[in-house]
Amino acid sequence: MDIVPTSYRGENVFLVKDMLGLIPQTILLKGEALQIIRLIDGKRDIRDIQMELMRMHGGVIIRADEVEEMISQLDRAFLLDSDHYRKEKTRIIAEYGKKRNREAALAGKAYPEDPDRLASDIQSILGGQEARTGIFEGKKIRALIAPHIDLEVGKEVYAKAYQVLRGFSPRKILLLGTGHNLQDHYFSLTTKDFITPLGWARTDRDSIERLKETSPSGIIAPHDIDHKNEHSLEFQILFLQGLFGDDFELIPVLCGSFHRVLQKVTRPADIPGLADFLAGLRTFLGENEGDVFIVAGVDFSHIGPKFGHRETASSLLLEAKAHDRSLIDAICRGDVTDFWSETRKAHNKYNVCGFSALALLLELLPGGTGSLLGYDFWMEEATQSAVSFAALALFE
């Protein structure tokens, strides 16, 4: 679930969005519902919660059956980790697993559903045919780092990223993205073809299946439900289709969090079990040398109350920018251990959601260098929060 603190009619509330698809509409949690949720900790029973609520309300009698009904409402809304929730989650995962295609999740929401209008918008962002072509003469670009923030918000940085691919014609694209809701595994792969208003983006099913076979249990998720509503790859595919039509195949990889091992290892290659997955990716790149391009759809710092900080984004902005600069410098030097060390020192204070995908990318391009193309921050006034994003080209 994506839980966003905000205010509504002068009251502190939480907006809850379900990325799995169990909850069709955004839920607004406030008042008594929030009080009860704070008391549901796996230790209190109904009577304990009843007594706590009565104490909070100055001794006003609250019946046990009223508490049961409020908890039942939360359960019916799939907000509780219960048998009801688990059963429905299992059903949705199984149904999605049977689908052959990944339908566009954000068409008509984050970008136009009409193909002509969308194509026009993408080409407008990309600019003219001559834009930025040849600016890295003498250097071979192997990978691109692009944002996955809202297209309108990040259009200038998206442009600086994808304009450098004018004139390219990769047969295969290894597409790395942030798995925002990937929790129990490090990666999620899918063999589903991606459908957008601009057409079909085919996956390289054989290569994806081989990657799955090379990885030990627990590294790759056993299902691909995390791709269903994930935007970090979907936004990149729109630009790739705008540049290359349908003349490429995708290897889509969502990267979950590395932060549970942040203090235990010094780079992704040291994570138990991850070496085999890295070896599989390197084999794929080696077998398809010259035909594969890597794209990472990531954002950088997420600061402010929306992302768990007590401070507003404006008060954290300078230090977050300094942290981003240190990460970008490490990327441009191709230094994966320094990149990891910088995040470790900060204890992930700035919520860099692209950390895992970027660390993986650096492992795949040892000895490479990079160049910053663009960087920006988006401020969300309603929540006093902000997100940074950047575009970089990485060279062989």
The model's pTM: 0.90
Given the structure tokens 């014609």, which residue do they identify? 169
CATH of 101-395, one of 3.40.50.720, 3.40.50.300, 3.40.830.10, 2.40.50.140: 3.40.830.10
Task: Spell out the domain ranges in the chain.
Answer: 2-94, 101-395
Helix or strand holding residue 303 (H, E): strand 302-303
State the DSSP string of 107-131.
BTTTB-SSHHHHHHHHHHHH--TTT
Tens-place pLDDT, residues 324-379: 999 999 999 999 999 999 999 999 999 999 999 999 999 999 989 999 999 999 99
Tens-place pLDDT, residues 201-224: 999 999 999 999 988 878 999 999
Q: Give the angle 284-290-291 at the CA atoms, nearest 5°.
A: 65
Given the structure tokens 């490429």, which residue do they identify? 248
User: What pLDDT, on the 0 to 100 scale, is given for residue 157?
Assistant: 97
Q: Which of these, 206, 199, 139, 197, lies nearest to 172 by C-alpha position?
A: 206
Given the structure tokens 């949690």, which residue do they identify? 29
Instruction: Answer whether residue 129 shows pLDDT above 80.
Output: no
Tens-place pLDDT, residues 15-39: 888 878 888 788 888 888 888 888 9
State the pairing for strand pair 385-395/369-380.
antiparallel
User: Alpha-carbon distance 315 to 335, whole Å?
Assistant: 30
Q: Which of these, 202, 227, 231, lies nearest to 111 by C-alpha position?
A: 231
SS3 128: coil
Helix or strand holding residue 282 (H, E): helix 274-287
Instruction: Answer whether residue 394 shows pLDDT above 60.
Output: yes
User: What pLDDT, on the 0 to 100 scale, is given for residue 105?
Assistant: 94
User: Alpha-carbon distance 230 to 86, whole Å?
Assistant: 21
